[in-house]
Amino acid sequence: MIYLDNAATTCVAKEAFEAMKPFFCEQYSNPSAVYCFAGDSMKAVDKARKSLADLIGAQPNEIYFTAGGSESDNWAVKAAAEAGKAKGKHIITSTIEHHAVLHTCQYLEKQGYEVTYVNVDENGMIKLEELKAAIRPDTILITIMAANNEIGTIQPLEEIGTLARENGILFHTDAVQAYGHIPLNVEELKIDLLSASGHKFHGPKGVGFLYIRKGVRIGSYIHGGAQERARRAGTLNTPGIVGMGAAAELVMDKLKENMQKEIELRDYFIQRVLEEIPYSRLNGDAKRRLPGNVNFCFRFIEGESLLILLDQQGICASSGSACTSGSLDPSHVLLAIGLPHEIAHGSLRFTLSAENTKEEIDFTVDALKKIVERLRSMSPLYEDFIKQKSK
């Protein structure tokens, strides 16, 4: 099997798994209890909290554990909306956000909030002028993702953060794809709220965190006990938190090295496909993109058929986000960068990790070439196109 779907989820790092193990059958105490047996669990949680904070230049007491990226996004957006409603009910986001943000914004619209969806350019970069123009006296939140999960485009966070801060508006970023993959510093980027998820950077699934900058007053999302300084109730997921913390520690040592490996593989992959497969196109910004992200369109064919044939060769890829596959609508991200429906349908995403090899990429490109050729040979659209061309 060749796994090229790391934006959907990643393999838990061996070190992270080893770190988690004692917290199931041996050190199983509830970290919030008073006895010494619980103290050891809390120490492990605190160590993880510090590692996770260090990676983005935050303080440990600004990290609030959640059950993953979707919960962090829901919490940030809904609680910021609630907290800001005395000032105004206007929120700014982009057209290419993950559904955890987009659907939350749509929910808020039903509650009487107004949302502006700022457009992106053909590479998926937010239009800063449009964002600036969208700011109003009643704007209370700007939520723009750090990097896109489909096309990998990295947004100008510092510019957005500066605009937000100058205007007294909270800035939330969904950094689920970026955290652990590119350098991020919440101080430099002027981020107030940041979502991350363990399973997107070689930690376990079902655990994540929300960074809430000190002094930012937003309410609780899960009500109950006093865990997480009474801001997020529920018994802490000790093994999950420890595993996610260990994954962050690994990144700390190897971020540059991982990035370099991925960028080399990514650019080699892109170059081979664009050179060797006619009528293929790279989606997303060529430079400002996640190190592991590759996203192509192949004209005259369906992404879904490509995926099935790749799967038969043992290659795991995706036609967009795992959350939308299964629906026949083309990706909202590809439509937002201006691709027509029929081209957006022929898209394919490969997301690499530093563990992938050049041999795997070669195997994949070779398979892809044959599959594209075969599908096109059966495509009436392609046949017409070739006839037109030769006239």
Catalytic residues: 323
Ramachandran assignment for 345, one of left (phi > 0), alpha (psi -120 to 50 degrees), beta (any other): alpha
Site for ligand PLP in 199-238 (CB under 6 A): 200, 208
Alpha-carbon gap, residue 75 to 25, rounded angstroms? 31
Residue in the block written with tokens 């508006």:
169
The residue of the chain with the least Cβ separation from ligand PLP equals 69
CB nearer to ligand PLP: pick between 189 and 372 = 189
Q: Is residue 100 involved in binding ligand PLP (CB under 6 A)?
A: yes
CB 149 within 8 A of CB 200: no
Which of the 8 DSSP states describes residue 198?
A: G
Tell whether the torsion through CA atoms of 366, 369, 372 and 374 is positive or negative.
negative
Count Cβ neighbours within 10 Å for each residue of 310-340 and write b for 16 or more, e otherwise.
Answer: beeeebbbbbbbeebbeeeebbbbbebbebe
CB nearer to ligand PLP: pick between 27 and 195 = 195
Out of 68, 203, 303, 320, the only residue in the binding site for ligand PLP (CB under 6 A) is 68
Out of 6, 41, 70, 143, the only residue in the binding site for ligand PLP (CB under 6 A) is 70
Each residue 312-351 as x (binds ligand PLP by CB under 6 A) or -, in order, gives ----------------------------------------
CA dihedral 291, 252, 7, 313 (to 10 degrees): 80
Q: Is residue 153 involved in binding ligand PLP (CB under 6 A)?
A: no
Q: How far is the CB of 139 from ligand PLP (least distance, A)?
A: 22
Out of 5, 62, 174, 360, the only residue in the binding site for ligand PLP (CB under 6 A) is 174
Site for ligand PLP in 128-147 (CB under 6 A): 145
Helix (H) or strand (E) holding 363, with range, is helix 358-377
The contact set with ligand PLP (CB under 6 A) reads 68-70, 73, 98, 100, 145, 149, 174, 176-177, 197, 200, 208
